[in-house]
Structure 1
Amino acid sequence: MKTVKNKNQGKKMLRKNFLYGVALVFAALIVCSIFLKFFTRHNEELAVPDFTTMTMDDAKALAKKSNLRLDVVDSVFIKRLERGVVYSQNPQAGDAVKKNRRILITINSNVPQMTIMPNVVGYSLRQASAELMSRGLSVGKLIYQHDIATNNVLSQQINGHKISSGSSIETETAVDLVLGLNPDDSRTYVPYVVGYTSDLAINALNDNSLNVGKILYDNTVNNYQDSIRAVVYNQTPMPSVHTKGDEERVEAKPLTRGSKVDIYLTIDPDKVASR
Structure 2
Amino acid sequence: MTGKPLWVHILTGIGIVILLVVVFLQSLHWITRHDKTLTIPAVTGKSLAEARQILESKGFEVELQDSIYNDTARPLSVLRQFPEAEAVVKVNRTVYLTVNKAIAPLVEMPNLEGLSFRSAEISMNQYSLKLKDTVYRADFAKNSVLEQQYNGERIKAGTKIPQGSEITLVLGSGLGQEDFSVPDLVGLTYNDAKVLLESNGLNVGTVIPNIDPNAFVGRQSPEYMTPDGRVNRIRQGQSVDLWLQPDKPVKVPVVPAPAEQPQQP
Q: With structure 2 as the length reference, what TM-score do the two structures score?
A: 0.49
Larger radius of gyration: 2
Name the structure with the higher helix share: 1
Q: With structure 1 as the length reference, what TM-score do the two structures score?
A: 0.48
